[in-house]
Amino acid sequence: MRRALVLGGGGLTGIGWELGILSGLCEAGVDLTDADLIVGTSAGSVVGAQITSGVALETLFTRQLAAPNGEVAARLPRRALARMVWAFLRERDPARARARIGRLAHASSTASLTERRAVIAARLPSHDWPERDLRVTAVDARSGRREAFGRDSGVPLLDAVLASCAVPGVWPPAVIGGRLFIDGGVGSAANVDVAAGCDRVVVLAPIDAGAGPVPSPSEQLADLPGAPRTALVVPDAAAREAIGANPLDPARRAPAARAGRAQAAAVLDQVRAAWND
């Protein structure tokens, strides 16, 4: 039996909410961090790297509650968001739509890649790939092809996470092997299909939405072959209120983490049924 934990994208608040859910479930006796496969997209790539680093889950959760001193809130400009949505709506080919967004991301990038790399580096307790099978998703900004980097990819973990978190219109594309990569969430909010072939799949998706030809996490989960046992967890009403309108606001990270921790009790039975024998 092979079990997969899929961690979707959702900004700083997504990181906090996912760690809240994970820590609450673990406290109740369901430890999702012992998954055979962990798939991380954007915020989920940070969480995936953290929970496989050897640092205790409760410690990782507690860190989300710290005051966001010195952290600056970012925001995806409405114009950039509108252009990305339009790219998906007008293109029937998802790869072409992603490539269009990649070109927009490269042309509009103004932030320092060096500074951004330092921010991501500080979020990772370890910069070495874990022994656990961790896959980090990102999208080639030129071809639109989705990649799922792992320990055997030859790509450093820090570079993979940096690429997976490169939100178009906010952060610059990452450079890997001379190629430009953008946020894995451009391919899918959670890239659930990477978990194909697993017998049990639990998805934590701060964002459960698709656009145009891109399916939502719930749609991808339903399409997994082999009829695995599955569970999809998305923010409840209280968590959505805690997350707020801007998932890139560090001031919302602690409330989102607490909301995730509180929500864990409500999803415990659902997740336990999918995860345990």
| Residues annotated as catalytic (active site), given as ranges | 42, 183
Give yes or no for a contact between 98 and 187, defined as CB atoms under 8 angstroms apart. yes
Distance of alpha carbon 219 from alpha carbon 209, whole angstroms? 9
Q: Which residues of 188-224 are buried (b: 16+ CB within 10 A; e: fewer)?
A: bbbbbbbbeebebbbbbbbbbebbeebbbbbebbeeb
Return the number of other C-beta atoms located less than 10 Å from residue 226's C-beta: 8
Q: In this structure, are residues 111 and 199 in contact, taking their beta carbons and an 8 Å threshold?
A: no
Task: Give the span between the Cα atoms of 272 and 277, in whole angstroms.
Answer: 9
Give the integer Cα–Cα distance in Å for 184 and 135: 11
The torsion defined by the Cα of 7, 13, 16 and 20, in degrees rounded to 10, comes to -80
